[in-house]
């Protein structure tokens, strides 16, 4: 397959770096300021070095990336809320010209799922977005395998930053602000971690899960969202006295979609530690399925993107 990769953050760069190993050719790479295009395949090493040294992937205009010859658009630009632009426009452009689309960007399927689905239905190209939920964890492929109608509920810990903070607070008895600063020093939390700690990131992933399980109709606005910023160490102490702990849990049930801090058994399945994510599915005939693993990181998330590419027709 010929891949056009939009977005040169950790995931986009890792896709460029790993594509050859998966037997694919990258014909275009673009970041917000530039693009590099070669119908015979760009040189991944050279592109990544250019990005590292110059801060941009190449000299071309970013809008030229989708004018080249490609089979699959890998959309890995930053997630945006509301109209999900510019990601949505990229998806539209690819599907309207009958290309496949693989998303790492949550915006289009979290905020405008029904619009994206309609475009995909009209297109000869397919749409996949495994990487948008739980990073490396094959959550959506598992739901697809079980059959969305046979998944009665999904819940999970879907934000590594929030989970790292809660884990450290419980282990060390430290205040939220202190642990967050530590997480930022370690590179676990971003300079502006609000999407992670206020629950927005987990809520977007839950909206996507709800769309997959219920066949659409959900966006961030449909999710009841609470973050972890108000949780003091004393709350974690009280939980620990009863063999419990607190996790930022996202829940998709018939009753709705919720994200918030919840009490879970300290040694229970959902109490994953550090930056680990978990997705738990309640299925009609197969009981409970637990999938845990790396929920973020360039190579881990890129592996989900490339697995999607392999699943295309």
Closer by beta carbon to other proteins, 90 or else 155 = 155
Kindly compute the dihedral angle of the four CA atoms of residues 188, 194, 198, 200, in this order, to the nearest 10 degrees: -90
Alpha carbon distance, N-terminus to C-terminus of the chain: 11
User: CA 161 to CA 168: how far, in whole Å?
Assistant: 11
Among 262, 277, 279, 296, binds other proteins (CB under 8 A): 262
Q: How far is the CB of 101 from other proteins (least distance, A)?
A: 34
Residue 141 β-bridge partners: none
Q: How far is the CB of 235 from other proteins (least distance, A)?
A: 4
Among 263, 289, 299, 307, binds other proteins (CB under 8 A): 263
- The reply on whether position 269 binds other proteins by CB under 8 A is yes
Size of interface with other proteins, in residues (CB under 8 A): 31
Stretch that binds other proteins, among 12-20, 49-57, 115-123, 247-255 (CB under 8 A): 247-255
- The reply on whether position 17 binds other proteins by CB under 8 A is no
Residues 6+ apart with CB under 8 A from 59: 34, 36
**Which residue is associated with the tokens 């999938």?**
291
Identify whether the C-beta of residue 154 lies closer than 8 Å to the C-beta of residue 284: no
Identify whether the C-beta of residue 113 lies closer than 8 Å to the C-beta of residue 120: no
Among 45, 98, 114, 175, binds other proteins (CB under 8 A): 175
Closer by beta carbon to other proteins, 126 or else 283 = 283
**Catalytic residue at 2?**
no
Among 11, 14, 73, 249, binds other proteins (CB under 8 A): 249
Residues 6+ apart with CB under 8 A from 66: 4, 6, 28, 73, 90, 93, 94
Q: Which of residues 215-244 bind other proteins (CB under 8 A)?
A: 226, 230-235, 237-239, 241-244
Angle at 152 between CA 205 and CA 129, to 5 degrees: 30
Given 2, 51, 106, 205, the catalytic residue? 205
Closer by beta carbon to other proteins, 182 or else 266 = 266
Q: How far is the CB of 81 from other proteins (least distance, A)?
A: 24
- The reply on whether position 121 binds other proteins by CB under 8 A is no
Q: How far is the CB of 279 from other proteins (least distance, A)?
A: 14
DSSP 145-212: HH-GGGEEEEEEE--HHHHHHHHHHHHH---HHHHHHHHHHHTSS-SS-HHHHTSHHHHHHHHHHHHH
Closer by beta carbon to other proteins, 185 or else 230 = 230
Stretch that binds other proteins, among 59-67, 111-119, 209-217, 254-262 (CB under 8 A): 254-262
Stretch that binds other proteins, among 38-46, 51-59, 85-93, 264-272 (CB under 8 A): 264-272
Q: Where are the beta strands (DSSP E) in the chain?
A: 2-6, 25-30, 35-37, 72-75, 100-103, 127-128, 151-157, 223-225, 244-253, 256-265, 276-283, 287-294
Residues at the site binding other proteins, with contacts judged by CB under 8 A: 155, 175, 226, 230-235, 237-239, 241-244, 246, 249, 251, 255, 260-270
* Residues known to be catalytic: 205
């Amino acid at each position: 397959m010929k891949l056009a990769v939009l977005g040169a953050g950790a995931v986009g760069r890792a896709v460029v770096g790993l594509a050859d190993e998966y037997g694919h050719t990258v014909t275009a790479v673009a970041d917000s300021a530039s693009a590099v295009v070669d119908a015979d395949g760009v040189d991944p090493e050279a592109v990544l070095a250019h990005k590292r040294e110059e801060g941009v992937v190449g000299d071309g205009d970013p809008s030229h990336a989708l004018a080249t010859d490609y089979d699959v658009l890998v959309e890995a630009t930053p997630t945006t809320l509301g109209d999900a632009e510019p990601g949505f426009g990229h998806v539209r452009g690819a599907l309207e010209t009958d290309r496949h689309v693989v998303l790492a960007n949550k915006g289009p399927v979290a905020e405008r799922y029904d619009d994206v689905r309609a475009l995909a239905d009209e297109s000869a190209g397919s749409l996949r977005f495994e990487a948008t939920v739980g990073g490396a964890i094959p959550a959506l492929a598992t739901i697809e395998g079980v059959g969305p109608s046979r998944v009665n509920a999904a819940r999970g810990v879907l934000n590594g930053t929030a989970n790292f903070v809660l884990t450290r607070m419980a282990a060390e008895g430290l205040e939220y602000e202190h642990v967050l600063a530590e997480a930022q020093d370690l590179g676990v939390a971003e300079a502006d971690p609000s999407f992670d700690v206020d629950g927005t990131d987990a809520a977007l992933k839950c909206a996507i899960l709800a769309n997959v399980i219920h066949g659409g109709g959900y966006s961030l606005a449909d999710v009841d969202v609470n973050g972890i910023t108000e949780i003091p160490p004393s709350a974690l102490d009280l939980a620990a006295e009863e063999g419990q702990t607190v996790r930022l849990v996202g829940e998709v049930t018939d009753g709705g979609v919720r994200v918030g801090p919840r009490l879970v058994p300290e040694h229970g399945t959902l109490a994953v530690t550090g930056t680990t994510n978990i997705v738990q599915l309640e299925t009609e005939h197969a009981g409970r399925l637990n999938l845990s693993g790396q929920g973020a990181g360039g190579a881990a998330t890129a592996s989900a993107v490339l697995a999607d590419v392999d699943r295309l027709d």
